[in-house]
A = this chain, B = another copy of it.
Amino acid sequence: MKQQPSPLPDTLPQTDLTRHRRLRDQGSLRRADLDAILDAGFVCHLGVVVDGRPLVVPTVYGRDERQLYLHGSVASRSLEGGTPVCVTVTHVDGLVLARSVFEHGVNYRSAVIHGIPRQVTDPEEKLAGLRLLTEHATPGQWSYARRPNRKELAATALLALSLEEASVKIRTGAPDDGDGPDAELGLWAGVLPLTSAWGAAVPDPRLPPDIAVPEHIARREGTRHG
């Protein structure tokens, strides 16, 4: 029987790459916060260095306990040969409207993962990774849709990135200038929340009218995302 790898530590590491240098009170070292941020979204921003210059592209991801799986085509030409990447997932929760412009800010949850991704080539692992990716965005879809055949699997670039070296920042709550001199200005201050939600499924116009929206998709209508 294959030995299970030990789980990643509950506390995130503090390395040269992950240590919080600014706004340290917004930093979290809880791996549970990292997991929650990753699970709340499905699009990340993948940063790579190409000819010495940064390139940041959005792409979709899924995860297991130890690794992020990324749809890698967008950056595949840049990711041969084990070059480092930075993957950032951000949820914007609202505008922090303070009394002073200086104290304005954003309520957000953000995860930053550093590492050198691995191109997934083993067909079995690729299939498992694509399943995680598909189910992450749309639970129930892997068993509903037609799964990749051998040719499609070969044409799909998938990256695996360890979740070991990661950092998290979170800001919640009211503005910070509620007890300074600016509180005397008589100005309104607070938070303008921003939320993201799934709408009603829109059928492909080419779909025969007798094919109903499957339950695993229909039930998301009106639910919150992010």
The smallest beta-carbon distance between A39 and chain B, in angstroms, is 16
In chain B, what residue has the closest Cβ to A115? Answer: B53
- Interface residue A220 (Cβ < 8 Å from any Cβ of B): yes
- Interface residue A110 (Cβ < 8 Å from any Cβ of B): yes
Residue contact A211 to B186, C-beta cutoff 8 Å: yes
**For window 185-206 of chain A, which residues contact chain B by CB distance below 8 Å?**
185-206
Beyond A57-B112, A178-B206, whether A102 also contacts B192 by CB under 8 A is: no
Q: Of A4-12, A28-36, A86-94, which binds chain B?
A: A86-94
Beyond A56-B45, A101-B130, A195-B196, whether A190 also contacts B204 by CB under 8 A is: yes
Residue contact A54 to B54, C-beta cutoff 8 Å: yes
Residues on the B chain within 8 Å of A145, using CB: 97-101, 104, 187
Pick from B192, B212, B217: contact of A97, CB under 8 Å: B217
Residue contact B53 to A86, C-beta cutoff 8 Å: yes
Residue contact A175 to B204, C-beta cutoff 8 Å: yes
- Interface residue A121 (Cβ < 8 Å from any Cβ of B): no
- Interface residue A25 (Cβ < 8 Å from any Cβ of B): no
| A212 to B87 Cα, complex, angstroms | 41
In chain B, what residue has the closest Cβ to A178? Answer: B206
Residue contact B192 to A198, C-beta cutoff 8 Å: yes
Q: List 5 A-B contacts (CB under 8 A).
A: A45-B88, A53-B86, A57-B88, A58-B88, A101-B146
